[in-house]
Chains A and B, each alone.
With several copies, the nearest count.
Chain A
């Protein structure tokens, strides 16, 4: 059982990180992952991600640990970019390895849902006309609360 959590101030390579999980643990029949990347739209030029050094890492660690406790996983990994990112650049990788697929799939969905509203990150959009901070959407809150209501997991 192992957890890896990282905050990266520079470009990340999510596929390379996923490659590290492949073929590593003979108990892991299933590896599931989610990659978030900067999506174009609304004149978006770039995204800036801010975090709370130390506290954000601890929150991600808590989310990964909660996933390990809740499902039978061999590994849980969260890598999150901070700083300025252009359209198309990766923002986050969440991955889980498990003996069985249901655990790996559910753990990834759990980790990305909870991370969105429960770990201290702040997102600023730069468009051609200026910049503004992003508020989490109602559906993001609902997704996290759906998981947390059932367990009292609290990331921070």
Chain B
């Protein structure tokens, strides 16, 4: 009954950890997860910054994307490959 949260690159540095396991009951949308983490974590506000990309189970997601038990929700700063 968990949501697996991952933080990458600068967001991992900001959050001070690379992942969180949240109780699946805390939210049924991405926006709910962000609200929960903002509440709970001093640095949670960075997850709501406009540059943040959210990937749910490998697919680009948005604030309204539904989340459910077992999902992996990744918070990503802008990509800079190559």
Contact = CB atoms under 8 A, between A and B. Distances in A.
Contacts of A92: 81-82
Nearest to A111: B82
Interface of A: 36, 49-50, 52, 54-55, 58, 80, 91-92, 101, 112, 115-124, 133-136, 140, 154, 156
A136 B79 contact: yes
B10 interface: yes
Given A121-B82, A156-B58, 6 more contacts: A52-B6, A54-B58, A115-B82, A117-B78, A122-B8, A122-B10
Contact of B81 (A49, A58, A154): A49
B76 interface: yes
Contacts of B74: 52, 55
Contact of A36 (B13, B60, B82): B82
Given A124-B9, A133-B77, A156 B82 contact: no
B82 A120 contact: no
B55 A156 contact: yes
A119 B58 CA distance: 11
A121 B58 contact: no
A48 to B, nearest CB: 10
Contact of A50 (B8, B59, B60, B82): B8
Nearest to B76: A120
Contacts of B13: 133
A52 B72 CA distance: 12
A119 B79 contact: yes
Interface in B22-78: 55, 58-60, 74, 76-78
Q: Which 5 A-B pairs have the closest CB atoms?
A: A121-B81, A122-B9, A116-B82, A133-B10, A123-B80
